[in-house]
Homo-oligomer: A and B are copies of this chain.
Amino acid sequence: MRTAYHEKLAELSEQIGQMCGLAAAAIDNATQALLRADLSLAERVISDHSQMVEMSVAAERSAVTLLALQQPVAGELRTIFGSSQIVADVDRMGALAVHVAKIARLRHPRHAVPAEVDGCFAEMGRVAVELATRAQEVLRSGDPDKAAGLRGDDDVMDDLYRDLLTVVMDRNWAHGVPAAVDAAFLGRFYERFADHAVEIGRRVVFEVTGALPVEQEVSTY
């Protein structure tokens, strides 16, 4: 009985790991759709999101069922509780990838962002995929050191975001207000995506050690 319970717990973790994989694929495709003004790829990111939503609802139900199934011990309680919060984070990562895809779709057939900031978005996309993949690994391994390592990637993302805003807000920006607002929002979506990946690492550390690391600093934007 106890073993069946642990199997179900492991299943839930695996399910959430798969959601992380979906989030990584979604932000990767969304970035390509953005950089190539690829409408069909943008549409795919948007329609694929329904799978993430279904998995998220299923994972949340599994967590409640697990709690009801048997009196869990303290460590398991933390795991189940944390799982539900991690589901919310991954779900949000998927939604942010959809936000990126929707801007690509909205501006099609034009490119949503001027070529001047393409390099920045390509790099933000790369770091976002890296973060989601790392979060997936951390979920599987439960390794607190790897979880803490997510912060390094997040710092890179923060720097990219800051650089982007500097370019956009500069008086030499020659692409007008709508492109500036698009670029600023897009940058924020990547930055938030990264924050949620870090939050997953924070949750894993909490599950493993019982200590919740200090929350990240609230950024101005």
Contacts and interface: CB of A to CB of B under 8 A. Distances in A.
Given A168-B177, A177-B168, A184-B184, A220 B84 contact: no
Contact of A220 (B68, B71, B85, B106): B106
A57 interface: yes
Interface residues of A, number: 39
**So how many copies of this chain end up in the complex?**
2
A177 B183 CA distance: 11
A39 to B, nearest CB: 15
A63 B57 CA distance: 21
A67 B76 CA distance: 11
A168 B185 contact: no
Nearest to A183: B181
A178 interface: yes
A18 B98 CA distance: 34
A132 interface: no
Contacts of A185: 184-185, 188, 221
A10 interface: no
Contact of A85 (B74, B77, B85, B102): B85
Interface in A87-114: 88, 95, 98-99, 102-103, 106
Interface string A41-53: 0000000010001
A220 B53 CA distance: 17
Interface string A203-221: 0000000001001001011
Contacts of A188: 185
Given A57-B212, A185-B188, 5 more contacts: A49-B218, A67-B72, A84-B84, A99-B221, A103-B220
9 contacts: A68-B77, A84-B85, A85-B85, A103-B221, A165-B181, A168-B181, A177-B177, A180-B180, A185-B221
Interface of A: 49, 53, 57, 60, 63-64, 67-68, 71-72, 74, 77-78, 81, 84-85, 88, 95, 98-99, 102-103, 106, 165, 168-169, 173, 177-178, 180-181, 184-185, 188, 212, 215, 218, 220-221
